[in-house]
Amino acid sequence: MLSLFKLFKKKESSSQIAKSRLEIMLKHDRMELTKDDMLEMMDRILMVLKDYVNYDKDRVQMKVKRENGETFLFISVPVIGRPASRDWER
Amino acid sequence: MGEVYVITSGKGGVGKTTVTANLGVGLALRGAKVVTVDADIGLRNLDVVLGLENRIVFNIVDVVEGSCRLEQALVRDKRLENLFLLPAAQTRTKEAITSEQMLEVCSKLRKIFDYVLIDSPAGIETGFRNAAIGADKAIVVTTPEVSAVRDADRIIGLLEAMGKGVPQLIINRIRLDMVEKGDMLSVRDVLDILAVPLLGIIPDDEEVIVATNKGEPVIFRDDSDASRAFKNIVARLQGEDVPIIELSPRKNTGFWSKLRQLFGGR
């Protein structure tokens, strides 16, 4: 099934490659953080989150966007539940 | 009081000077009193694109050093009496002018002209900063290439940090055929990435090179795609609502009709 899916999936065009390369490049450029800084920051944020929620760590995404002259950091974390250990607090 | 625009890009060779020359001519053709300023000290080019290289007597460095009056350094265009050039010095370096001096030149020029268009040098150092410091608004020129877009993003950030607000974007040298094939970033792609308002798009047009060869900006012509694109941008600068028709790469409407739509002014 998977290979069938692949068969129908269109080959990525060079402009799509350019766009995704740029998106990754600019994410770093705009924050002026190194890749290591970013990874470390993510790790620390996620460490805090995991005390409160369960999340799908494969689908965690980070985006840096500029709007009206300001830079925003967006982190999207798909929440899939609450950790059992904290249930007693409610 | 006139408006001061800086035309900049970060990366070199994307068409800043061509854009400055054509917008200058375009605004002058509509009756505005315009001065184009070459802020690329040491590597002047705007005079050549405008075809005025043989008329230069004094330059901007002479003005700030007090060797001549501002009016003496202004070169009048040979075709349009309301278009002028303030040339850069060719044998000096960027350090020949300070930001304070540049600010003073800009404030004098805006009293005389409706539009002051400053052609910035490439880069993000002194030359760029001096070019931008006296400007009210910025126009960023890019091409649909990874390196140019990346540098444009950097320059947009710097302009915002300098308090110039959000610049307007011109995407130069678009090749519709390549966009259609998925081999060139589309207008939409570039806008998604840079997130600034679009002032206009200019197709890759051989006539621009022909025009530069002759020292006659392409906007003087009536029969070229680039000329029409520049005229649309000039109209937008003057507050007219000229729509930019979006090129979306994978739609099956006729290529040529789309091109006509795009640059036919409607």
Quick one: pLDDT at residue B5?
A: 98
**Which domain, by its residues, includes B13?**
3-263
Residues on chain B touching A25 (C-beta within 8 angstroms)? 146, 150
Residues on chain A touching B137 (C-beta within 8 angstroms)? none
B12 neighbors B122 (Cβ within 8 angstroms): yes
Domain count along chain B: 1
Selecting from B160, B189, B195 the residue whose C-beta is nearest the C-beta of A15 gives B189
Residue A25 located in a structural domain: no
Residues on chain A touching B183 (C-beta within 8 angstroms)? 13-15
Instruction: Inspect the interface and report whether the beta carbons of A68 and B166 lie closer than 8 Å.
Output: yes
pLDDT higher than threshold 60 for residue B210:
yes
Amino acid found at A23 = E
Which residues, at least 6 apart from A59, have a Cβ–Cβ distance to it below 8 Å?
A: A78
The separation between CA B77 and the C-alpha centre of its own chain, rounded to angstroms, equals: 17
Residue pointed to by tokens 């304070």? B100
Instruction: Inspect the interface and report whether the beta carbons of B179 and A15 lie closer than 8 Å.
Output: yes
pLDDT confidence bin for B248, thresholds 50/70/90: very low
Interface of B with A (CB under 8 A): 145-146, 149-150, 153-154, 156-157, 160, 165-166, 179, 181-186, 189, 192-195, 249
Residue of chain B nearest A18, judged by CA positions = B146
Q: In what side-by-side order are the strands of the sheet with B3-8?
A: B75-76, B83-86, B34-38, B115-119, B3-8, B137-142, B168-174, B198-203
A82 neighbors A52 (Cβ within 8 angstroms): yes
Instruction: Inspect the interface and report whether the beta carbons of A66 and B181 lie closer than 8 Å.
Output: no
Per-residue pLDDT reduced to its tens digit, B10-22: 899 999 999 999 9
Minimal CA–CA distance to A51: which of A85, A75, A78, A80? Answer: A85
Instruction: Inspect the interface and report whether the beta carbons of B154 and A16 lie closer than 8 Å.
Output: no
* Residue B169, min C-alpha distance to chain A (Å): 14
Quick one: pLDDT at residue A88?
A: 53
Per-residue pLDDT reduced to its tens digit, B121-164: 999 999 999 999 999 999 999 999 999 999 999 999 999 989 99
Which residues, at least 6 apart from B36, have a Cβ–Cβ distance to it below 8 Å?
A: B20, B21, B24, B46, B50, B83, B84, B85, B86, B117, B118, B119
Q: What is the mean pLDDT of residues A76-81?
A: 91
How far is it, in rounded angstroms, from Cα A26 to Cα B63?
40
How far is it, in rounded angstroms, from Cα B7 to Cα B4?
10
How far is it, in rounded angstroms, from Cα B176 to Cα A35?
35
pLDDT confidence bin for B250, thresholds 50/70/90: very low
Q: What is the mean pLDDT of residues A82-89?
A: 67
Quick one: pLDDT at residue A2?
A: 55
Q: What is the mean pLDDT of residues A57-81?
A: 82
Quick one: pLDDT at residue A6?
A: 57
pLDDT higher than threshold 60 for residue B265:
no
Residues on chain B touching A30 (C-beta within 8 angstroms)? 153, 157
pLDDT confidence bin for B187, thresholds 50/70/90: very high
pLDDT higher than threshold 60 for residue A29:
yes
Residue B72: Cβ within 10 Å count:
11
* Residue B125, min C-alpha distance to chain A (Å): 17
Domain count along chain A: 1
Residue A38 located in a structural domain: yes
Q: What is the mean pLDDT of residues A59-87?
A: 80
How far is it, in rounded angstroms, from Cα B22 to Cα B170?
13
Q: Residue A73: helix, strand or coil by DSSP?
A: strand
Tokens of B135: 């400007």
pLDDT, greater one: B230 or A35 = B230
Residues on chain A touching B145 (C-beta within 8 angstroms)? 18
Selecting from A16, A19, A67 the residue whose C-beta is nearest the C-beta of B193 gives A19
Residue A45 located in a structural domain: yes
Q: What is the ipTM of this complex?
A: 0.79
Task: Tell which of B189, B192, B194, B250 to mutate to test the A interface (max A CBs under 10 Å).
Answer: B189
Residue A90 located in a structural domain: no
pLDDT confidence bin for A68, thresholds 50/70/90: low
How far is it, in rounded angstroms, from Cα A1 to Cα B152?
43
Q: What is the mean pLDDT of chain B?
A: 92
**Which domain, by its residues, includes A58?**
33-84
Instruction: Inspect the interface and report whether the beta carbons of A19 and B183 lie closer than 8 Å.
Output: no
Interface of A with B (CB under 8 A): 13-16, 18-19, 21-23, 25-26, 29-30, 65-69, 71
CATH number reported for the structural domain that contains residue B188 in this entry: 3.40.50.300
Residue A22 located in a structural domain: no
